[in-house]
Structure 1
Amino acid sequence: MQLKLYLGYLLPFCLAFSHIAGDEETCHEFTDLDLHHSIVGTELKVQLLLYTRENANCAGDLNKENTTAFNRLNVTRKTIFITHGYRPTGSPPVWLDAIVQKLLAIDDFNIILVDWNRGATTLLYHHAAARTRKVADILKELIDQMLEQGGSLQSIYMIGVSLGAHISGFVGKMYNGTIGRITGLDPAGPLFNGKPPEDRLHHTDAQFVDVVHSDIDALGYRETLGNIDFYPNGGTDQPGCPKTILSGSEYFKCDHQRSVFLYIASLNETCSVTTFPCESYKDYRAGKCVDCSQFGSLGCPILGFYADEWKDYLVAKNPPVTKAYFDTASAKPFCMFHYHLDFLTLNSKTRRGYVTIRLETPAGNVTESKMDQDAATFEQNQEVSLLARFDQDIDQVSRMFVKFTTGSVIGPKYKLRVQRMRLRSMTNPDRAALCRYDFVLEENVEVEFLPVPCQNANFFSACCTEDAPQCPAGAYSVLGG
């Protein structure tokens, strides 16, 4: 009996303690809605989900009454706000966990996921867009609290996707552009295109603003918004994305979402996506903007998380705005490896056309580059440098395949007489260049040969034909003739 009484008195205390402990261990999740919520509409409600290395898989909600989450918010750390955009179906963004975990793998940041799914979920896009300023007001309240506790605006980094990019800009304006950095990932275009700076993201909203434009012909914003604006594949059709509406929802969102996946890829150590400051995508594809040595030790800008290494150079410009172009592969990690393909030709008459080159490794792996953006002009004794882009970095090339075409189906077939072709790696400039001397490319006929390191190829440079008397025995076969 006494044991029962003892347990009877103890039980309420145990339950109370377990309730408190349970609150401390509660893991909050991103709001998961469905199409029904989208049809009837949702009122704005914001969750501020905090992740740190201490709770990398268990988010705390930074509501004012949640002291546990606030205790984890160390304001002396760098704080990264991640804000999503319009959610027409109500489902959580598929990239949430990846971006949080990969950022925490870099450092013990405060990662604050701004969940405004209630408010962003609606069939009426303009209703969601109208709530962006209110979301910004809520974020300012939290930042003000952090400042009161000793935090700094310099340590604030905001990553905004679509409408989230403009929300980040609105927050930055409230602090007169003194927050550390804003990254806009394909900022929303509809209802924001053509708006003045006070009504959208602008490069004065933070100490450094970088923007990735991946869908400028549909859901994204076309013009420049940041200190540096990156345009992957020209900012329109992204490799690997569906080309027809038969693919369903992916057709509409794939290009738009690619900006996010490119950013996430920048958090890996697999490879870095190099970009090229240029006036236009056409000039970049023509190889006019690929000399990274002009920027000294900086080199060319790197896309994504590490883009701020260019901050001091960019903000010192007048105006402090730069456009950068680059191509990507169709799948993760999206990196492309750039080469110069130089031709010195002998034709007495000018030839205009396109070149395709394939490289093969000793193991049989093949990568291809089609230089088909604009026809190259080949003139006698004039060197032409084309920009070749490969989705693999091949350090050992066993065979090369080259084809020349004018693009004409019914016209006469032309020949391109090449005195020297040279392949130079831009990604690894210390790697030996590969050459081929004195050969003819017949239109639409692929030529296969063995590459020769340029420093050794001079020995064979006089060899023009298989039966040339000046060729050492076997030289022609070594050159792949």
Structure 2
Amino acid sequence: MYSNYLGKAIGRLLADLRLFGFPSNQIHGIGFSLGSQMLGYAGNTYFDITLEKLWRITAIDPAGPCFSNSLIVEQIRSGAADYVEVYHCNAGGLGTTSVLADVDFFLNDGKVQPNCHVGFIPGFGESDAARCSHKACIRYWAYTVTHPGTYLAWACDSYKDFSDGVCAANQVTIAGYSNPGNASGVFYASTETYGVI
């Protein structure tokens, strides 16, 4: 896999941009799937060159295959930027199950998204359902760019507790583009509440 080489190249490119006046505290890296994992290498490389951290990294459903069983230093993680946020939509499928960042958002159950059903016959349609759930993360996050504050997320230990209302009194933050960047831990949000499925 070449994700480490590509990620390091991105880090060097961003370090070059800094020389042209782009300050570290205004660089926001956004990646999807394998691109999310590359941003871990990019953030570390950027720091090695500049001794400054990127402002923020948003990792949208970071790739799981080939990464879930790898060392933590080979994945996107807390510390790769001043603030790292991860959005999970297909954990255990095409996305990682690992809790990696300053804040990890599990949208719906974080595994299978609404309207991304496996089908009636086991073994058939599972890859389509995984792709559907994986891609849904992009749609959800992109929606928040023009609809700020859409997804409220609650700190919670499990999706079951979240869906049963056990976490209703817990810390609340905003998931997506307008995430204020001051929450840490594991949060759950529902996209169905807002009609975005």
Scaled to the shorter chain, the TM-score interval is: 0.7 to 0.9
**1:215 paired residue number:** 90
**1:304 paired residue number:** 176
Please tell me the residue identity of whatever aligns with 1:325: Y
Following superposition, the deviation at residue 195 of structure 1 comes to 2.2
Please tell me the residue identity of whatever aligns with 1:260: I
Distance 1:249 1:216 in 2: 13
Q: Is the 8 A contact 2:33 2:63 kept in 1?
A: yes
**1:203 paired residue number:** 78
Deviates more, 1:216-225 or 1:168-177: 168-177
Following superposition, the deviation at residue 191 of structure 1 comes to 1.0
User: How far does the alpha carbon of each residue in 1:420-454 deviate from its partner, in whole angstroms, 9 at most, with x for none?
Assistant: xxxxxxxxxxxxxxxxxxxxxxxxxxxxxxxxxxx
Following superposition, the deviation at residue 272 of structure 1 comes to 0.5
Q: Is the 8 A contact 2:61 2:90 kept in 1?
A: yes
Equivalent pairs counted in the alignment come to 190
114, 132, 141: which is aligned to 1:254? Answer: 132
Question: Does residue 139 of the first structure (1) align with residue 2 of the second (2)?
Answer: no
**2:188 paired residue number:** 325
Question: What is the correspondence of 1:172-251 to structure 2 with a 5 Å cutoff?
Answer: 172-176=43-47, 178-244=53-119, 250-251=128-129
142, 146, 150: which is aligned to 1:264? Answer: 142
Q: TM-score, normalised to structure 2's length?
A: 0.86
Question: What is the correspondence of 1:118-133 to structure 2 with a 5 Å cutoff?
Answer: 130-133=1-4
Please tell me the residue identity of whatever aligns with 2:96: Y
Question: Does residue 167 of the first structure (1) align with residue 38 of the second (2)?
Answer: yes
Which aligned runs of 4 or more in structure 1 are off by greater than 4 angstroms?
A: 245-249
Cα 1:192/1:139, change in 2 over 3 Å: same
Q: TM-score, normalised to structure 1's length?
A: 0.37
Q: Is the 8 A contact 2:112 2:130 kept in 1?
A: no
User: How far does the alpha carbon of each residue in 1:46-99 deviate from its partner, in whole angstroms, 9 at most, with x for none?
Assistant: xxxxxxxxxxxxxxxxxxxxxxxxxxxxxxxxxxxxxxxxxxxxxxxxxxxxxx
Q: Can you give the 5+ residue segments of structure 2 that lack an aligned partner in the other structure?
A: none
Cα 1:289/1:218, change in 2 over 3 Å: same
Identity score, percent: 25
Cα 1:201/1:248, change in 2 over 3 Å: closer
Please tell me the residue identity of whatever aligns with 1:326: A
Structure with the greater alpha carbon radius of gyration = 1
Please tell me the residue identity of whatever aligns with 1:280: S
Cα 1:331/1:261, change in 2 over 3 Å: farther
Distance 1:145 1:261 in 2: 31
Q: Is the 8 A contact 1:273 1:303 kept in 2?
A: yes
Question: What is the correspondence of 1:400-419 to structure 2 with a 5 Å cutoff?
Answer: none
Question: Does residue 289 of the first structure (1) align with residue 167 of the second (2)?
Answer: yes
User: How far does the alpha carbon of each residue in 1:5-37 deviate from its partner, in whole angstroms, 9 at most, with x for none?
Assistant: xxxxxxxxxxxxxxxxxxxxxxxxxxxxxxxxx
Q: Is the 8 A contact 2:113 2:133 kept in 1?
A: yes
Q: Is the 8 A contact 2:31 2:39 kept in 1?
A: yes
Please tell me the residue identity of whatever aligns with 1:237: V
Aligned-pair RMSD on alpha carbons? 2.3
In terms of fraction of residues, the more strand-rich structure is 1
Please tell me the residue identity of whatever aligns with 1:156: I
Following superposition, the deviation at residue 270 of structure 1 comes to 7.7
Please tell me the residue identity of whatever aligns with 1:222: T
Following superposition, the deviation at residue 175 of structure 1 comes to 3.1
Following superposition, the deviation at residue 224 of structure 1 comes to 0.7
Distance 1:217 1:142 in 2: 32
